[in-house]
Structure 1
Amino acid sequence: MGWFLCSGKSNKKSKKKQNKKPIDPISSTSEKSKLNSSVDVKKEASKDGGSDRIAAQTFAFRDLAAATKNFRADCLLGEGGFGRVYKGRLESNNQVVAIKQLDRNGLQGNREFLVEVLMLSLLHHPNLVNLIGYCADGDQRLLVYEYMPLGSLEDHLHDLPPDKKRLDWNTRMKIAAGAAKGLEYLHDKANPPVIYRDLKCSNILLGEDYHPKLSDFGLAKLGPVGDKTHVSTRVMGTYGYCAPEYAMTGQLTLKSDVYSFGVVLLEIITGRKAIDNSKTAGEHNLVAWARPLFKERKKFPQMADPMLQGQYPVRGLYQALAVAAMCVQEQPNMRPLIADVVTALSYLASQKYDPESQPVQAFRMGSSTPRTRREQ
């Protein structure tokens, strides 16, 4: 349930704790008092008429401590501004789970905890992570999810160790299409629609065979209904993924999520981070780097991740980049509906690329300007 102000720097969860602050200053004393007060999830949910639909299991803190061997360091999966995530095994049924322990000294309050429980209790889709249960004992706030064995998409795209397998083109398109389907469910199937608000690579978790699921719903908002065109709210999200109109005005729409998805799709195609201050001047922001290249098709091969080693279909690359370019349009009304994105990416995912029988593009490792040639 991590959240950032739309400025600053995004760091990998497993390596460095994220510094997450809302745009409106909130005193830490106030937040701590909220977090330390007891919360009855079903009682709070009943105010919105949803308590009878909460299927999530309630856990005692001692049971989750036992599942993680008292939150032992070797069970730690990752860490972010929300707190820590541990791998655990429930003694009651021997199920392997991921347990998120919210930081009691952080800015994650009862509201975001409740939103996460309510959203994931009421929303179910193959591309949304499953919430198994929660713990609200005293000042403890923990969430129990299904365990996703392959970690996050971020783990497979950025800062990879030399011995780690790189994602091939087919797997990238499969992940992109699946993540889009999860977002489509939130926008088009949920009633009222849900704006995710925190779509990024670290929030796309991967199960067996790289099956993607959206996670972390603490920032999710119910979308506009009736004659309303947007929801006005504090600007929260992650720098590099926030739609420009939302960052400037606080007016949140479904198209805000489409922009964030476009950034993720660009990361999947290029292997670059949304924000990377290690790059040369002018290349720190992924979208800013990509926009001039979108205007010249002959430069599209420069945008392919060098880690693909030229193993991608030229037409598929062009089509995927065209989808990403539409999603990150500055004007929200120029962005496509997520349903149209799903249609395009599902088609690309169905077109399997075989480097043994299809052309391999020439490339130069470490260069952003690979030459293109065709080999049989």
Structure 2
Amino acid sequence: MGARCSKLSACWWPPHFKSPRLENGAAGEDGSGVPVFAEYSLDELRAATDGFAADRIVSEHGEKAPNVVYRGTLFSSGATVAIKRFGRSAWPDARQFVEEARAVGLLRSGRLSNLIGCCCEGGERLLVAEFMPHDTLAKHLFHWETKPLSWAMRVRAALYVAQALEYCTLKGRALYHDLHAYRVLFDVDGNPRLSCFGLMKNSRDGKSYSTNLAFTPPEYLKTGRVIPESVVYSFGTILLDLLSGKHIPPSHVSGNHLCIDIVDHQLYPSK
């Protein structure tokens, strides 16, 4: 299945990029333009998504996903945002959910799609983040239509994700849940950013990994807990994706396999 072609897909991408600062303060402090974290009402977010309409869904598995992500437009500011709506059984403790969201909402980095708000009303739990309009790294790597992602952009994606993880670690948020290529998003300038949604579990006591077991860190399989080493392992699987252009289980490239054997042949120089 091919990815939706973006206005950037023809050249993958312009040679000159705006270089966002690694760390930005909240809006009103240094002019970064990222809103201060806020709590939204359910009515606001329902209106922003046209009543959580199906045609507003942007998450990978659509309505079948346990936690659905919508594209929304905040009427108060006109800003386009990503709104993650958790399943009804997730995060039963409202206070814990809000505390976690507020902690993640303190982070401000040009390498993240920053969390700008949450909603906690009745049984509803929602997160609000900056919207990244140019799809995911997974779509551009695995489902491209006209031209593969260039080596320069693959290196940029690896660097930016590493910088995002380093920033989060320095800010006391070293654990990232379910890290994979679908968590890497492209912003309006074509720069890769790491989704802030992975900085919170999908539920208070739920699983931290939802991907195929072939890609799950061995430490998590043994203990059911995410530790910093789990994040390093998952980052390694993203590097494999970038190198190969395919979603290859780590076990398939161990032993006697050479790196050159898995390099994306679409990027070999033309003879």
Q: If the length of structure 2 is used for normalisation, what is the TM-score?
A: 0.73
Q: 1:114 to 1:82 in 2, by over 3 A?
A: farther
Q: State how far apart, in whole Å, the 1-side matches of 2:49 and 2:146 are.
A: 26
Give structure 2 stretches of 5+ with no counterpart.
Answer: 1-35
Following superposition, the deviation at residue 264 of structure 1 comes to: 0.9
Q: 1:273 to 1:58 in 2, by over 3 A?
A: same
Greater C-alpha Rg: 1
Q: Over the residues paired in the alignment, what is the CA RMSD in angstroms?
A: 2.9
Q: State how far apart, in whole Å, the 1-side matches of 2:39 and 2:150 are.
A: 40
Does residue 270 (structure 1) correspond to residue 255 (structure 2)? The answer is no
Does residue 195 (structure 1) correspond to residue 167 (structure 2)? The answer is no
Q: Match for 2:43 among 45, 62, 85?
A: 62
Contact 1:293 1:300 in 2 (8 A): no
Q: Which has the higher contact order (CA 8 A, sep 6+)?
A: 2
Does residue 120 (structure 1) correspond to residue 94 (structure 2)? The answer is no
Does residue 96 (structure 1) correspond to residue 80 (structure 2)? The answer is yes
Q: State how far apart, in whole Å, the 2-side matches of 1:89 and 1:245 are.
A: 40
Contact 1:195 1:254 in 2 (8 A): yes
Q: Match for 2:161 among 161, 176, 179?
A: 179
Q: State how far apart, in whole Å, the 1-side matches of 2:247 and 2:119 are.
A: 34
Q: State how far apart, in whole Å, the 2-side matches of 1:171 and 1:84 are.
A: 28
Secondary structure of the 2:246 match is coil
Letter in 2 for 1:211: N
Give structure 1 stretches of 5+ with no counterpart.
Answer: 1-54, 221-232, 275-285, 311-359, 362-374
Q: Match for 1:288 among 229, 246, 251?
A: 251
Contact 2:201 2:207 in 1 (8 A): no
Following superposition, the deviation at residue 251 of structure 1 comes to: 6.0
Q: Match for 2:228 among 227, 232, 254?
A: 254
Written as runs of structure 1 = structure 2, the 5 A alignment for 1:283-322 is 286-294=249-257, 299-308=258-267, 310=268
Following superposition, the deviation at residue 121 of structure 1 comes to: 1.4
Alignment match, 2:116: 132
Q: 1:246 to 1:99 in 2, by over 3 A?
A: closer
Written as runs of structure 1 = structure 2, the 5 A alignment for 1:68-79 is 68-78=49-59, 79=62
Written as runs of structure 1 = structure 2, the 5 A alignment for 1:1-376 is 55-78=36-59, 79=62, 81-104=65-88, 106-107=89-90, 109-110=92-93, 113-114=97-98, 116-158=100-142, 160=143, 163-187=145-169, 189-190=170-171, 192=172, 194-215=174-195, 216=197, 217-219=199-201, 236-237=208-209, 238=211, 239-250=213-224, 252-274=226-248, 286-294=249-257, 299-308=258-267, 310=268, 360=269, 375=271
Q: State how far apart, in whole Å, the 1-side matches of 2:189 and 2:231 are.
A: 26
Q: If the length of structure 1 is used for normalisation, what is the TM-score?
A: 0.54
The alignment of Structure 1 onto Structure 2 pairs a total of residues equal to 228
